[in-house]
């Protein structure tokens, strides 16, 4: 394999005695769109903060182009663009003026700076609104200007932390299109989200993070394929669970099943057929079904299958 564009080696971060990130390792190839997916508090922002040199890890290290990267690696830092979860724009200034300001932080000046501001405005599709003050922008448009700011110095890796949270559908689409176009131009992108459908659309590979650890890593397609025909989640009166479990596993329409807190998670080859078969089993064993849900094969269901929890409550 070529040297990965970005490597995380066993990253850990503790806040006091709370370990927010508990040994995350990743190799991200040049030109990849890589997704970090996980519920609130999973450790996505903490991980991204370590990957961008904003936060020093408690243990482990980060490599950019195979070279150790820390908060002091000024040269490597120029390769990185970071779009934080929180917005930081001056409301009374126009988008154009905000971007001039950010560009100066990156030591861009004069004609070169103005040209670059025009380019990034074009990339996020806000050229015609550039002279309006930020306070007149929608949440989604502000976010797009934040993305533009992260692109000013022509980074090689772009980090986007939940770029579509609280964003209107139009801006959301614009963000998707920018991400796709930027990646098309060769940019490596690391994207965090808890919207699985976004990851399905945008990411070549994803890592599902839960409680500070990677619990699965693959292409969205392969993860979904692994689910087969979808998932059945069957609540049963406790005493009957083991017996039903045993019998359900022998059904031809069923790939496998696990017990999770009074419920049976059943991976199917074909969910409708499996549903009929499973109910036949529960009837024959006189087991009372207390709840029943069918989940289509998608990344949300992958998370449910791995953790027994829904990604969002
Ligand atoms: N500065 C901090 N001090 C103490 N604890 C923190 C700090 N930042 C984060 N945490 C804790 O670390 C854990 C991971 O937080 P983090 O912000 O990385 O999660 P996240 O996956 O980005 O969540 P979200 O989807 O809500 O943005 C959480 O339990 C959070 O409360
Ligand atoms: Mg976060």
pLDDT in tens, 48-98: 999 999 999 999 999 999 999 988 888 899 999 999 988 789 999 999 999
Between these two residues, 309 and 33, which has the higher pLDDT value? 33
Q: What is the mean pLDDT of residues 204-211?
A: 96
State yes or no: pLDDT of 311 exceeds 90.
no
Domains of the chain, start order: 6-222 (3.40.50.300), 228-296 (3.30.70.100)
CA 253 – ligand 1 centroid, Å: 41
**pTM for the complete prediction?**
0.90
20 lines ligand 1 (CB under 6 A): yes
**If you average pLDDT over every residue of the chain, what do you get?**
94
What is the b/e burial string over 126-148, where b = at least 16 CB atoms within 10 angstroms of the residue's CB?
beebbeeebeebeebbbbbbbbb
41 lines ligand 1 (CB under 6 A): yes
Atom index in ligand 1 nearest the CA of residue 209 equals: 21
Beta strands (DSSP E) in the chain are 6-15, 18-28, 33-37, 59-64, 67-69, 80-83, 157-161, 188-193, 205-210, 213-218, 231-236, 254-260, 263-268, 289-295
**Residues near 51 by beta carbon (within 8 Å), at least 6 away in sequence:** 6, 8, 11, 62, 159, 190
43 lines ligand 1 (CB under 6 A): yes
pLDDT in tens, 90-107: 999 999 999 999 999 988
Q: Is 54 helix (H, G, I), strand (E, B) or coil?
A: coil
Per-residue model confidence (pLDDT) at position 24: 98
Residue ID of nearest Cα to ligand 1 atom 24: 40
Residue ID of nearest Cα to ligand 1 atom 31: 41
CA angle 136–141–142, rounded 5-degree value: 75
pLDDT band at 211; cut points 50, 70, 90: very high
pLDDT band at 313; cut points 50, 70, 90: low
Atom index in ligand 1 nearest the CA of residue 21 equals: 14
Please answer whether residues 153 and 108 qualify as being in contact, where contact means their C-beta atoms are separated by less than 8 angstroms. yes
312 lines ligand 1 (CB under 6 A): no
pLDDT in tens, 246-269: 999 999 999 999 998 889 999 999
pLDDT in tens, 4-22: 999 999 999 999 999 999 9
Between these two residues, 88 and 28, which has the higher pLDDT value? 28
Per-residue model confidence (pLDDT) at position 279: 96
Percent of all residues in the chain with a pLDDT value above 90, rounded to a whole number: 84
15 lines ligand 1 (CB under 6 A): yes
């Amino acid at each position: 394999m070529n040297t990965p564009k970005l490597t995380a080696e066993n990253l850990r971060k503790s806040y006091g005695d709370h370990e927010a990130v508990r040994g995350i390792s990743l190799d991200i190839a040049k030109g990849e769109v890589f997704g970090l997916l996980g519920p609130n508090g999973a450790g996505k922002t903490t991980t991204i903060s370590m990957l961008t040199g904003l936060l020093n890890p408690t243990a482990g290290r980060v490599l950019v182009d195979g070279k150790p990267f820390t908060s002091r690696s000024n040269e490597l830092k120029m390769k990185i663009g970071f779009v934080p979860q929180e917005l930081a724009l001056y409301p009374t200034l126009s988008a154009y003026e905000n971007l001039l300001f950010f560009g100066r932080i990156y030591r861009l000046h004069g004609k070169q700076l103005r040209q670059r501001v025009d380019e990034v405005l074009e990339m996020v599709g806000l050229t015609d609104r550039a002279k309006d003050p930020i306070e007149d922008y929608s949440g989604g448009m502000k976010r797009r200007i934040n993305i533009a700011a992260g692109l000013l110095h022509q980074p090689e890796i772009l980090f986007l932390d939940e770029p579509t949270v609280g964003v209107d559908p139009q801006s959301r689409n614009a963000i998707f299109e920018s991400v796709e176009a930027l990646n098309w131009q060769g940019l490596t992108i690391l994207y965090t989200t808890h919207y699985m459908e976004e990851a399905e659309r945008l990411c070549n590979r994803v890592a599902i993070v839960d409680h500070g650890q990677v619990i699965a890593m693959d292409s969205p397609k392969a993860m979904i394929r692994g689910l087969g025909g979808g998932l059945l989640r069957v609540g049963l009166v406790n005493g009957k669970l083991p017996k039903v479990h045993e019998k359900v596993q022998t059904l031809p329409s069923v790939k496998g099943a696990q017990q999770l807190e009074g419920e049976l998670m059943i991976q199917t080859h074909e969910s409708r057929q499996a549903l009929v078969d499973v109910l036949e089993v529960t009837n024959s064993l006189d087991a009372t079904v207390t709840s029943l849900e069918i989940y289509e094969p998608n990344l949300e269901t992958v998370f449910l299958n791995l953790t027994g929890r829904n990604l969002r409550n």
